[in-house]
Amino acid sequence: MNLVFVYGRGSARARLVTPPLTGTLLPGVTRDSLLTLGRELGIDAEQAPISTAQWRDDCASGELTEAFACGTAAVIAPIGRVRGAAGEWLVGDGRPGPVTLRLREELLGIQHGLRPDPYAWTHKVC
């Protein structure tokens, strides 16, 4: 899956950050859809590289508040805890955050035909 990070705490506007497509990442349709939906919801979306050390440090400072993986099969899988070579840490309070849940609800709503699809992403299969 592709990874997306949510920055911004308190009154700061939420901002999505996902690594750029430099050739080693799959240009996932879910990633692309969520960047579009985010902008539609007033959430700026930026493509920038992020190391695991930066992920850890930005969680520690409270700047990075949410993270999720995304792809067709899982839609959005919230990430609550990270464990790896850079250490072990919680993302936010370890539970799915509001931006993650909102994006998931919006995308599922379009997929299930419960919300308007202004992008013509859905197709009728007869």
Ligand X SMILES: Cc1ncc(COP(=O)(O)O)c(C=O)c1O
The one among 30, 76, 79, 110 contacting ligand X by CB under 6 A: 30
Are the C-beta atoms of residues 67 and 6 closer than 8 Å to each other?
yes
Contact set for ligand X, span 42-101 (CB under 6 A): 71-72
- Nearest CA to 79 out of 88, 64, 63, 90 is that of 90
CB of 47 to ligand X, least distance (A): 15
The CA–CA distances, whole Å, from 35 to 27, 51, 86 equal: 12, 20, 27
CB of 72 to ligand X, least distance (A): 3
Under rule CB under 6 A, residue 28 binds ligand X: yes
Where do contacts with ligand X occur on this chain (CB under 6 A)? 1-2, 26, 28-31, 71-72
